Amino acid sequence: MAAFPEDDAHPGLGSRLRVRLPRRVGLRARLTSSAAVRALEAATGLAAAVPVLDSTVSAVRAGWVPAGDDGIIATRSWDVLSAHTPLVGQYSEAGQVITGQTMHSPGPMLYWLLALPARFGRPADLAITMGAINTVAIVACVILARRRGGLILMFAVAAGIALMAQSLAAETMHDIWNPAAGLFPFLLLIFLCWSAACGEHRLLPPAVLVGSFVVQTHLMYLAPTAVLFAVASAGLTGRALAGRRREEARGEAARSRPRIWPWALAAVAVAAVCWAPPAIDQLEHDPGNLTMIARTAEHRGTTLGAGAGRRAVARSVGVRPWWLYVPASEWERKVDVRDAPLSRLQSDSAIAILLALAAVGVGGALARRWDLASAAAIGLGLSAAIALEAASNPSGRLLSGTLGYTMWWGSELGLWVWLIVAWGLWLSAVAAGRRLVRQSRLTRQSRLTRQSRLTRRSHPVRQSHPVQPGRARAVAVGTGCAAALAGVAVVGAAVASNAGPDSHAYDYRPIRSLAASLEAAIPPGRTIAFHFGPLDAATQPMEPAIRYLLVRHGDRPLADGSFPRLGDWYVQGHRRVQWVVYLADGTRAPRHMRLVGRVRFVSPWGRETLSAWVRRA
């Protein structure tokens, strides 16, 4: 596998479509060729994103509203453009369980992303924004794949992403819940850091931006993000040192080497902006949120151990990997990692695939194909990261249950590992084919030289219609691209056709109905004591959504116990209120309150009734 074609300087067939034009071709033809490649990239990316687009459209048609934790995220996103802008991310139960203190995700960048639609758009615009971000991330992955490996790798990546979508619940593709919101941006981060490791130093600022976003969104992305930036830094440093040595050997001027430091400085500036709010929180509070994260990690107690780490890796890359099957439940991975035993096939195939990945990396390094070597290093590093993440997870039933979503990125890991192994095998086959063709040409030329000049003159070859290999090649490439694009679209459509509804879809219409009743009963701009009675598993997710819709209405809903999730601005304490709102299951009327809305609906747990009562304070 060490013999790979040396085409670092030529990203692939896609680039050749642009550069292999006649020298006298006009500017319009050149622009048309470039535009055609760009259009092909965009079309392929959109075809790969069909499951995301379909999921988003289905959510909007269902009347999406931010139920459950989404309601908390929507409310905090509204607060970004206010005097009480959040400095930290989403509330985490881990802090209360492990240390008894409040802990949040590292930063508020998810709230920044959703701030405008949360304040100025419709509720469904939050889901549309997240679906658009995920679509852009997929298209960017496809574009970067073509820059690294040409059309072959571009179509392979697009088909792989579309196929991988089957392993994720359709809701995660437009959901603003923080573990889901970072999934496709993290996939983009893999390609950004890979490209940076291959020498594209201009991608450092966007890589830092995306990396900061995914880490601030949820701590489950911290270890893999560290791996990605380590590989990117090592690749850039190695290329810079190699370039300097070549210049010194040739006696060239240093100015011929591309300057990396302006882009590195820009990346530092981006990081400073992204991490300024967590730094401010750390300085203003004692202890700050970053300190609480460190304490929680330090005192997590008994963990699941190495067995869970092995199962996580085997489920990610072994036969059959997570990314190639449809799970019975989006939370199934906590059982896969925590309880389910590994089969011999899963264990042995995972070892074989990782050894093949290592062989690709070694072969790439020997052939000076640093793109292959860095891609293999990313796959091996991410495998170690998911093993560490699963092994270090607390063993208590509550926190070990978080494996149901912290292992979601194992689908992207499996896709990456299988993709790089397949690409390495493909390049090996291409190199072997080129050698055979070269030997065949040499044999043919030697045979022709043995023929006498007289014999060749006496048997002339008539060519009334000269062959045009350039045109035939263009037709073949165009036909192949059309077929590959259609194949990606078919895969995306097939995955989208099997998508299920959102987990809270049954709540959407009742939430809208009750919120409309409350908005009609209470004038905007009021301070509300927001209370609720016993709520079950079906009605509890409705409360944060109704709270957010009241905030959108211009009201300020207050409740004791709101501090961990929403901050001091929404804590009632001794603050004076003008209205009281009470939500409760059933029809029992509280004293001195007026019924303004009641909804009846069917949930997975049976028939539900939720009533809303109000009174003036």
Provide the pLDDT for residue 9. 40
Contact 193, 228 (CB under 8 A): yes
- pTM, two decimals, is 0.91
- pLDDT above 50: residue 15: no
Contact 194, 374 (CB under 8 A): yes
- pLDDT above 50: residue 479: yes
**Around 198, how many Cα atoms within 13 Å sit in the side-chain half-sphere?**
25
Partner residues linked to 84 by β-bridges: none
| Number of C-beta neighbours around residue 339 at 10 A | 10
Average pLDDT value for residue range 355-370: 94
- pLDDT above 70: residue 51: yes
- pLDDT above 70: residue 353: yes
Average pLDDT value for residue range 203-212: 98
Q: Is the dihedral of CA 88, 94, 96, 101 positive or negative?
A: negative
**Around 449, how many Cα atoms within 13 Å sit in the side-chain half-sphere?**
6
- pLDDT above 70: residue 32: no
DSSP string, 478-524: HHHHHHHHHHHHHHHHHHHHTPPPPTTHHHHHHHHHHHHHHHHHS-T
Provide the pLDDT for residue 253. 54
Average pLDDT value for residue range 105-122: 97
Beta strands in 121-161 (DSSP E): none
**Predicted confidence (pLDDT) per residue in 17-27, tens digit:** 433 334 444 54
Helix, strand, coil percentages in the chain from 3-state DSSP, rounded to 5: 65, 5, 25
Q: Lowest-pLDDT range, 185-189, 459-463, 487-491?
A: 459-463
**H helical segments located in 3-49:** 13-19, 27-48
Provide the pLDDT for residue 466. 52
Provide the pLDDT for residue 25. 46
Report the alpha-carbon angle 207-209-215, nearest 5. 95
Q: Name the band, by pLDDT with cuts 50, 70 and 90, for residue 33.
A: low
344's CB contacts (< 8 A; 6+ apart) are none
Provide the pLDDT for residue 475. 83
Report the alpha-carbon angle 179-390-344, nearest 5. 120
* Residue boundaries of the structural domains of the chain: 40-251+258-425, 505-616
Report the alpha-carbon angle 161-184-328, nearest 5. 65
List Cα–Cα distances, 364 to 107, 356, 607, in angstroms. Answer: 38, 12, 61
Q: Lowest-pLDDT range, 251-260, 293-302, 508-517?
A: 251-260
Average pLDDT value for residue range 370-393: 96
Average pLDDT value for residue range 455-480: 65
Instruction: Take residue 16 and report the two structure tokens written for it.
Output: 């050749």
Provide the pLDDT for residue 2. 47
Q: Name the band, by pLDDT with cuts 50, 70 and 90, for residue 440.
A: confident
Contact 360, 372 (CB under 8 A): yes
- Whether the bond between 327 and the residue before it is cis, its omega within 30 degrees of 0, is no
Provide the pLDDT for residue 24. 40
121's CB contacts (< 8 A; 6+ apart) are 129
Provide the pLDDT for residue 254. 53
Partner residues linked to 556 by β-bridges: 527
Instruction: Please tell me what DSSP assigns to residue 325.
Output: S
**Predicted confidence (pLDDT) per residue in 298-307, tens digit:** 988 899 999 9
Provide the pLDDT for residue 252. 59
Q: Lowest-pLDDT range, 62-76, 109-123, 236-250?
A: 236-250
**Predicted confidence (pLDDT) per residue in 544-598, tens digit:** 999 999 999 999 999 998 999 999 999 998 899 999 999 999 999 898 999 999 9
Contact 302, 397 (CB under 8 A): no
Provide the pLDDT for residue 256. 56
DSSP string, 300-313: --SB--HHHHHHHH
If DSSP codes are grouped into helix, strand and coil, which group holds residue 609? strand
Provide the pLDDT for residue 259. 82
Euclidean distance between CA atoms 414 and 386, whole angstroms: 11
- Closest of 535, 534, 543, 531 to residue 582, by C-alpha: 531
Provide the pLDDT for residue 240. 81
**What share of the chain in percent tops pLDDT 90?**
76
Average pLDDT value for residue range 113-140: 97
Provide the pLDDT for residue 1. 44
Provide the pLDDT for residue 6. 52
If DSSP codes are grouped into helix, strand and coil, which group holds residue 258? coil
**What share of the chain in percent tops pLDDT 70?**
89
Average pLDDT value for residue range 597-603: 96
Q: Name the band, by pLDDT with cuts 50, 70 and 90, for residue 472.
A: confident
Q: Name the band, by pLDDT with cuts 50, 70 and 90, for residue 251.
A: low
Euclidean distance between CA atoms 575 and 281, whole angstroms: 25
Q: Name the band, by pLDDT with cuts 50, 70 and 90, for residue 431.
A: confident
What does pLDDT average to over the chain? 90
Euclidean distance between CA atoms 412 and 187, whole angstroms: 7
